[in-house]
Amino acid sequence: MNRWQQPVTEIKGIGEETSEAFREMGIETIGDLFMYFPFRYEDYEVRDLADVKHEEKVTVEGKVHSEPSLTYYARKKSRLTFRLLVDRYLITVTCFNRPYLKTKLAINETVTVTGKWDQHRQTITAMEIRFGALSEKRELEPVYSTRGALTVKGMRRFMKLALEQFGAAIEETLPPSLMQAYRLWPKKDALAAIHFPSSHEALKQARRRLVYEEFLLFQLKMHALRKIQREQSKGIAHDFPLEKWQQFIEQLPFPLTGAQQRVVREIIKDMRSPYRMNRLLQGDVGSGKTVVAAIALYATVLSGYQGALMVPTEILAEQHAQSLRQLLEPVGVSVELLTSSVKGKRRKELLEKLMTGQLDIVIGTHALIQEDVNFHRLGLVITDEQHRFGVEQRRVLREKGESPDVLFMTATPIPRTLAITAFGEMDVSVIDEMPAGRKKVETYWVKHNMLERVLQFIDKEVQKGRQAYVICPLIEESEKLDVQNAIDVHSMLVHHYRGKYQIGLMHGRLSAEEKEEVMKAFSRNDVHILVSTTVVEVGVNVPNATVMVIYDAERFGLAQLHQLRGRVGRGSEQSYCILVADPKSETGKERMRIMTETNDGFVLSEKDLELRGPGDFFGTKQSGMPEFKLGDVVHDYRILEVARSDAAKLIHSRAFWQEDAYRPLRTYLEQSGVLNGEKLD
Ligand code: ADP
Ligand code: MG
C-alpha cells in the first residue's frame, strides 16, 4: 500500500490517545498528517542586543554565567534568576514559576532564551529557555491548532517523527516539466519545509510549491468536469439564417458596444456547436445584458426552438417581459409572462401554447422549471442573477428538459479570482464596457448627523419630479428588527414631509402581491419616496428615480452597495447615491471612500474581496466557494491563474492521458470521483 494512505499508528511513538486526538482533527493517515499545516510560525531570530529596543521580544543565545538563584513568594510562585553571557554582554535572565530549571542550568551551559528585553535593567524576562544553540541564527517554529490531549509541542514532535520515518518516501505528484518550468521544489522537500522551515525563504518556496499543487489539482478537476460535460451532454447545434439574425441586430435602437459584440460572438459560437452551452455572462448593472439575452433568444427561435428566461422575482419577470417584448415582437417573436399570478384559463392557455410550440419565449420566476411546464422544443434557457443560486441549483437546471443551452447572467461583478474558482466548471463571458453617454452616479458619504441635509436634498429632487429610494440596513440576526427599522424610518419620513409626498414602504414581511403593489405604485410615480429593506437590490428598473439613500451603509458589502446604487442612474437625469454611515474601523472608512471614488463594479468587487475575504463576498456561506488548505484566492491569485491555464492545457493534451509522468495527477482525478471510471481521451 501507498505510504501516504497508511494509518498514523504506523508512526513509531503514536499510540491510541494521540491517534484519537488526530481523528478529532481529521487526521487518519500519514498523508493527512503531512497535509495538516501550521497556521502560523513562531519566529526566533537571534539578534544583537544592541539592536533590540526596550520591551521588544528577542531571542538570544549565551552561556550560563552564574548559579541560578531561586526565590519563592506568595506561596506557590517562584522566580529564578541567573546571569547570562551573550557575546560581550552580561545580562540577567528572570524566569517565573519554573523552579525545576535550577538544577538543570549548569555554569557554562549554552542556552537559547526567548523573552522580553528590559533595556534599563539589562534583563530578559524569559518566556522560553531551550538548551543548546539554535541550529540556525533564525528559527521558525510551526504553530498548529490542536485538539484533545495533544499539545503544540507534541504535534511538533510527532510531525518530526513522521517526517523522519516517512518523509523520504513522499511521492512526487507533479511532472518534471512543470517542476522545471516554475522551479518548484520537490514535494518531499516542500512538505518538510512547510512544517520546519530553515528560513523565511525556504518557507516561501515550500508554500509556493504546495499552493501551486493545490490549485492545479482543483483546476484539473474543474476542467475535467467541463470536458466531460461537453462531450457527454450532446447539446443542440443551433442552425439559423445568419443574415436574418444580423438584420435584427442592425435594427436595434443602438449599436452594440464592443464588449456586447464580443460576448454575443462567444454565446452564438457555443449555441451553434453540438456541445451544450454552460456559460456565465457577467456584466455590471446597466451594461446591457438584456439585449444580449434577446439576441441569443432570437437565434434559438430562428433555429426552430423555444427559449426561457428565468429571474428570481416576479417584479423582475415583468420588467424583463416588457423589454423583451419591445425588442422581439416587432420581428414576429411571441413573448409571454408566466408567473404565479398568471392563473386559471390564461395559464392553461399559455401552457398549451408552450407544449404545442405556438409560443416562442416564456419569462418567469424559477418556479418555472420546478413546475410541470412542458416545452415543445426548448433550445435555450437563460437565468438572470444566478449568483443567488448555488452549484447544486445550476446542475438541476442543466438537467431539465432535453438538453438546452444554458446561459447564466449576473450583475454581480464577480472578481476574476472568484469567478475562476467558484465557477470553474463554466465558461465565462464578461461585458466590461458601458454603453456610451451613461452619466456617472455621484456618490457621497455623510455621517448620521447630516441627515437633515439629506432630507432637504431628497426634497429638492422630488420637487423637480424625481423619485428617491431610502434603504434601511438588513439586520441579519433578526428579520423582525429589520422590518421594524424600515417601519421607523418610514414614519420618520412621513412625519418630516407632512403629507407633501407619498411615501411607500417595502420589506420582506410583505406578501408577493403587496410588494408588487408598492413597486407598481413607485413605477407610476404615485409613490415618490420608497423606504425599503434590501429587497429592491436586484434588477428593479425605475428610470425616474435619481436618489438612493443608504442608511448604515457600513453594514453592507461593497458589492451589495454597488447593486443598490445601480437602481438609480437608469434614466437621462443626473443621479445621486448618498451613503449614511459612521463606520468605526479603518476598513469601514476605507470602504465608504472607495464607493465615492469609483463606479466600476469590478474594481469594487476586487476591493471588497481584499477587505472582507472570499467567504463574505456573497454575504452567505453557501457561496459555493471551495475551501483551500493553503492557497488564498486573493493573495495567491497569480498562482491560481497559472494553475488554471496549465490545467486547461493538460486536460486537452494527449500526454496527460498517456504518459507516466502524469499518472499521480490522473490518479487524483480518479480518486476524487471526477472520472467515474470513464476515459476522457
Ligand atoms: P443590465 O445589464 O443591467 O441588465 P440593461 O440590459 O437593462 O442592463 O440595459 C440598461 C440600459 O442600457 C437599457 O435601457 C438598454 O436599452 C440600454 N442599452 C443596452 N445596450 C446599449 C448600447 N449598446 N447602447 C446604448 N444603450 C444600451
Ligand atoms: Mg438586467
CATH of the domain at 17: 1.10.150
What percentage of the chain carries pLDDT values higher than 70? 89
Q: How many domains does the chain have?
A: 4
Q: How far is the CA of 400 from the centre of ligand 1 (A)?
A: 30
- Helix H segments across 3-68? 16-24, 30-34
Q: Please check whether residues 451 and 418 belong to one and the same domain.
A: no
Nearest-atom index, ligand 1, CA of 289: 2
Which helix or strand (DSSP H or E) is residue 176 part of? helix 176-181
Which residue lies with its CA nearest to atom 20 of ligand 1?
A: 288
Q: How far is the CA of 570 from the centre of ligand 1 (A)?
A: 9
> Does residue 395 carry a pLDDT above 70?
no
> Does residue 417 carry a pLDDT above 70?
no
Which residue lies with its CA nearest to atom 19 of ligand 1?
A: 288
What's the pLDDT band for 613 if we cut at 50, 70, 90?
A: low
Mean predicted confidence (pLDDT) in 363-379:
79
**DSSP letter at 52?**
P
* 351 part of a folded domain: yes
601 lines ligand 1 (CB under 6 A): no
287 lines ligand 1 (CB under 6 A): yes
* 219 part of a folded domain: no
Mean predicted confidence (pLDDT) in 187-209:
94
Q: Please check whether residues 339 and 321 belong to one and the same domain.
A: yes
Segment 91-101, tens digit of pLDDT: 999 999 999 99
What's the pLDDT band for 662 if we cut at 50, 70, 90?
A: very high
Answer whether 586's CB lies under 8 Å from 594's CB.
Answer: no
Q: Which of 598, 619, 636 is the last residue of a domain?
A: 598
435 lines ligand 1 (CB under 6 A): yes
Residue 622's pLDDT is what? 40
Segment 19-71, tens digit of pLDDT: 888 998 999 999 999 999 999 998 888 888 888 899 988 999 999 999 999 99
> Does residue 16 carry a pLDDT above 90?
no
289 lines ligand 1 (CB under 6 A): yes
| Cα-based distances in Å from 592 to 446, 458, 612 | 9, 20, 14
What's the pLDDT band for 619 if we cut at 50, 70, 90?
A: very low
> Does residue 664 carry a pLDDT above 60?
yes
Q: How far is the CA of 543 from the centre of ligand 1 (A)?
A: 12
Q: Please check whether residues 410 and 425 belong to one and the same domain.
A: yes
Q: How far is the CA of 410 from the centre of ligand 2 (A)?
A: 8
Q: What letter represents residue 517's amino acid?
A: E
Of residues 70 and 234, more confidence is placed in 70
Residue 391's pLDDT is what? 53
The pLDDT mean for the chain works out to 86
* 140 part of a folded domain: no
Mean predicted confidence (pLDDT) in 416-429:
72
- 616 HSE (CA, 13 A, CB side): 16
| Long-range CB contacts (within 8 A, 24+) of 654-661 | 654/681, 657/681, 659/175, 661/175, 661/176, 661/177
* 425 part of a folded domain: yes
CATH number for the domain that contains residue 500: 3.40.50.300
Mean predicted confidence (pLDDT) in 370-389:
77
Burial profile 37-61: b = 16 or more Cβ within 10 angstroms, e = fewer? ebeebeebebeebeebeeeeebbbb
Of residues 277 and 234, more confidence is placed in 277
Ligand minimally distant from the alpha carbon of residue 293: 1
Q: Please check whether residues 294 and 339 belong to one and the same domain.
A: yes
Structural domain boundaries enclosing 484: 442-598
254 lines ligand 1 (CB under 6 A): yes
> Does residue 539 carry a pLDDT above 70?
no
Q: How far is the CA of 328 from the centre of ligand 2 (A)?
A: 16
User: If you search the block for the grid coordinates 497508511, which residue do you land on?
Assistant: 6
* 195 part of a folded domain: no
Of residues 643 and 559, more confidence is placed in 643
Nearest-atom index, ligand 1, CA of 285: 3
Q: Which of 170, 186, 221 is the last residue of a domain?
A: 170
Q: Please check whether residues 319 and 378 belong to one and the same domain.
A: yes
* 249 part of a folded domain: yes
Segment 138-194, tens digit of pLDDT: 678 899 998 888 899 899 999 999 999 999 989 999 999 999 999 999 999 999 999
Of residues 368 and 240, more confidence is placed in 240
Q: How far is the CA of 219 from the centre of ligand 1 (A)?
A: 34
- Strand order, beta sheet including 467-471: 442-446, 576-580, 545-551, 467-471, 529-532, 503-506
Q: Of the segments 376-385, 464-473, 554-563, which one has the largest average pLDDT value?
A: 464-473
Name the 3-class secondary structure at 156: helix
* 356 part of a folded domain: yes
Segment 622-645, tens digit of pLDDT: 445 667 889 887 788 889 889 988
Q: How far is the CA of 365 from the centre of ligand 2 (A)?
A: 14
Q: Please check whether residues 403 and 273 belong to one and the same domain.
A: yes
Mean predicted confidence (pLDDT) in 581-605:
89
User: If you search the block for the grid coordinates 520537490, which residue do you land on?
Assistant: 186
* 88 part of a folded domain: yes
Q: How far is the CA of 539 from the centre of ligand 2 (A)?
A: 6
Q: Please check whether residues 520 and 405 belong to one and the same domain.
A: no
> Does residue 617 carry a pLDDT above 60?
no
Of residues 250 and 313, more confidence is placed in 250
- In sign, the C-alpha dihedral spanning 598, 599, 600, 601 is positive
Q: Please check whether residues 328 and 427 belong to one and the same domain.
A: yes
Q: Which of 431, 463, 484 is the last residue of a domain?
A: 431
> Does residue 398 carry a pLDDT above 90?
no
Q: Please check whether residues 483 and 555 belong to one and the same domain.
A: yes
Residue 493's pLDDT is what? 93
Which residue lies with its CA nearest to atom 17 of ligand 1?
A: 288
Answer whether 192's CB lies under 8 Å from 167's CB.
Answer: yes
Ligand minimally distant from the alpha carbon of residue 309: 2
| Pocket-testing residue among 287, 311, 562, 568, ligand 1, by greatest number of atoms within 8 A of Cβ | 287
What's the pLDDT band for 680 if we cut at 50, 70, 90?
A: very low
Mean predicted confidence (pLDDT) in 594-603:
89
Q: How far is the CA of 289 from the centre of ligand 1 (A)?
A: 7
> Which phi and psi angles does 57 have, rounded to 5°?
-80, 140
571 lines ligand 1 (CB under 6 A): no
Contacts (Cβ under 8 Å, ≥6 apart) of 199: 136, 138, 140
CATH number for the domain that contains residue 127: 2.40.50.140
Q: Please check whether residues 375 and 397 belong to one and the same domain.
A: yes
What angle is formed at CA 361 by the lines to CA 357 and CA 366, rounded to 5 degrees?
110
Segment 461-490, tens digit of pLDDT: 999 999 999 998 765 556 666 677 888 899
429 lines ligand 1 (CB under 6 A): no
Tell which residue, 562, 538, 541, has the closest CA to residue 550: 562
260 lines ligand 1 (CB under 6 A): yes
Q: Please check whether residues 21 and 76 belong to one and the same domain.
A: no
Q: Please check whether residues 117 and 156 belong to one and the same domain.
A: no
Of residues 369 and 552, more confidence is placed in 552
CA distance 573 to 571: 6
User: If you search the block for the grid coordinates 544592541, which residue do you land on?
Assistant: 50
Answer whether 421's CB lies under 8 Å from 218's CB.
Answer: yes
Ligand minimally distant from the alpha carbon of residue 436: 1
Residue 585's pLDDT is what? 87
**Strands (DSSP E) found in 119-217:** 123-131, 138-143
Number of Cβ within a 10 Å radius of residue 416: 18
Q: What is the pTM of this model?
A: 0.66
Contacts (Cβ under 8 Å, ≥6 apart) of 186: 172, 179
What's the pLDDT band for 621 if we cut at 50, 70, 90?
A: very low
> Does residue 262 carry a pLDDT above 50?
yes
**DSSP letter at 36?**
-
Q: How far is the CA of 541 from the centre of ligand 2 (A)?
A: 9
